[in-house]
Amino acid sequence: MVPVRYNTRSLLVRKITTTLTAAGIALVVFVFAAAQMFGEGAKRAMLASGRADSVIILRKGSDAELSSGIGNDYKKLGDLPGVAQVAGVGAIGEIVIVITAELADGSGGISNVLVRGTPPEGLAFRPEVKIVSGRAPKPGTNEVIVGKAISGRFKGVGPGQSFELRRNRPLQVVGEFTAAGASYESEVWGDLDVIRKYLGRESVVSSVRVRLTDSSKFEAYRMAVEADKVFSVKAMRERDYYRKQSEGTQFLVYGFTGIAILFSLAAMLGAAITMNGAVANRTREIGTLRALGFSRGSILVSFVLEAMLLTLIGGTAGVVLVQILSLFSFRTMNFMTFSDVVITFQATPGIVIGALVFSAVMGLLGGLIPAIRASRVSPVEAMRG
């Protein structure tokens, strides 16, 4: 087996080509890992919004709260067996609407904001929600709180400011909240009855939520709810509902991954060119190694390892650089509600390992042909050359 220090010395000697090739690999790994981190961030934001023991109830045929509508007799859904009482109630009804708002960056651009009308028990139902500045809105008033992820991103949507839900229907922002990174942080919350009154929809809610005494009772509860012909509703685990919503952002992940794969072809070509150049410039060295008794297999393995070492150097650099994205958030659209949602890039050990494996595979594929060429060098002809 050819000593690894031989390959390390070779890379150090060819500083310029090694640096350029490693930089190309680092860019590819950066894009690849960024795509995976974005997907993980979207998944976490959505799944953090749901609990295994919570159930969301929508009108049959609706895939999202925005398109759902349930009558005011929804409270009966909280009287069924297996439902826990939260803040003295078994079921909470909420209404959601998406409004357009002007961005606060001065660009004149507009985007969508999801406004949620929730009863006073809505905060107790979600203990992860914490008021981080200002205060909670007073029931029965036009006061609202805004999620930290979008606070200040839109004109009027920030503590101490106001905006209109409809013409002459102002909402006053009195606080800012967090929700453990959940997608709720990209919403505005106000009083259910006030929001419904402003919208002229006092007789319906968009969705109903109940908390089960035990998550294992979900199937029994779902069957009981969906069998009731009066309501004509469907029940889902809250976590499953938000998991389905996260699928809407997956096409972005696939797009970034596709770009990374295309870049990887160029990176593998660069690695192949680099290793081919190494073979051409080290013919006499290869011949000497063969003359010393190293087999063709040893030469082949040595050059493949050198290519993989080169790409792992670039891959490690890419993985280190992509960690910077964890400090930033990415604004995208929730394609189930057509509202803005802010995603934070999330790095996991699996993503880091996957990115390094991706770089090693690029080295393997890019260095294989040059390695085969090196293994076929004749020691006699090499020494003569």
pLDDT digits (tens, 9 = 90+) for 228-263: 888 889 999 988 888 787 666 666 667 777 777 777
Helix/strand/coil for 200: coil
- Largest pairwise CA distance in the chain: 95
Cα–Cα distance, 73 to 204 (Å, whole number): 9
Smallest CA-to-CA distance from 40 within 326, 338, 337 is with: 326
Amino acid of residue 321: L
Where a domain ends, among 187, 213, 239? 213
According to the model, what pLDDT value does residue 336 have?
59
List, in sequence order, every beta strand (DSSP E) within the chain. 54-59, 70-71, 83-84, 91-102, 110-118, 130-134, 143-147, 162-166, 169-178, 187-191, 204-205, 207-212, 233-237, 329-334, 339-344
Residues 137 and 196 placed together within one structural domain of the fold: yes
Is pLDDT at 196 greater than 90 in this prediction?
yes
Number of Cβ atoms within 10 Å of the Cβ of 258: 11
In a domain, 218, yes or no: no
If asked whether residues 40 and 64 sit together in one domain, one would say: no
The answer as to whether 241 is a domain residue is no
Q: Are the C-beta atoms of residues 142 and 190 closer than 8 Å to each other?
A: yes
In the chain, the number of structural domains is 2
Residue 227 lies in a domain: no
For residue 215, how many other CB atoms are within 10 A of its CB?
A: 14
C-alpha dist (Å) from residue 216 to 57, 83, 241, 350? 17, 12, 17, 30
Q: Given this model, what pLDDT does residue 115 score?
A: 95
Cα distances from 222 to residues 85, 88, 151, 379, in angstroms, run 18, 22, 36, 76
User: Looking at residue 381, what is its pLDDT?
Assistant: 59
**Tokens read off for 139:** 């029931």
Do 277 and 303 lie in one domain? The reply is yes
Amino acid at 175: G
Residue 149 near residue 329, CB atoms below 8 Å: yes
Amino acid at 291: A
As a residue count, the chain comes to 385
Q: Does residue 365 share a domain with residue 259?
A: yes
The residue behind tokens 């409809």 is 166
Residue type, 120: P
Which of 213, 236, 271 is the last residue before a domain boundary? 213
Pair 317, 366 in one domain: yes
3-state helix, strand, coil in the chain (%, to 5): 50, 25, 25
Instruction: Provide the residue range defining the domain that includes 16.
Output: 4-47+248-384
In a domain, 228, yes or no: no
> Of the ranges 91-100, 116-125, 370-379, which one carries the lowest mean pLDDT score?
370-379
| Residue 43 sits in the same domain as residue 60 | no
| Residue bearing tokens 């082949």 | 300
Query: Of 213, 235, 259, which residue is a domain's last?
Result: 213
The pLDDT tens digits for 60-74 are: 988 889 889 999 999
Count of Cβ atoms closer than 10 Å to residue 340 Cβ: 22
Average pLDDT over residues 295-306: 82
Residue 237 located in a structural domain = no
pTM of the model: 0.72
Check whether residue 154 and residue 9 sit in a common domain.
Answer: no
Residue 259 burial (10 A CB sphere; 0-12, 13-18, 19+): middle
Q: Which of 107-111, 284-288, 365-369 has the lowest mean pLDDT?
A: 284-288
The strand pair at 143-147 and 169-178 is best described as parallel
> Do 130 and 73 lie in a common domain?
yes
Closest CA to 328 of 346, 350, 301: 346
Could you tell me if 108 and 169 lie in one domain?
yes
What is the rounded distance in angstroms from the CA atom of residue 135 to the CA atom of residue 15?
A: 59
Q: Is the domain of 181 the same as that of 274?
A: no
Per DSSP, helices labelled H in 79-151 are: 121-125
Strand-pair partners of 33: none
Single-letter code of the amino acid located at 13: V
The first and second tokens of residue 284, run together, are 């006499």
pLDDT band at 327 (very low <50, low <70, confident <90, very high): confident
C-alpha count within 13 angstroms, C-beta hemisphere, residue 328: 10
Task: Please list, residue by residue across 22-55, b when 16 or more beta carbons sit within 10 angstroms of its beta carbon and e when fewer do.
Answer: bebbbbbbbbbbbbbbbbbbbbbbbbbbbbebbb
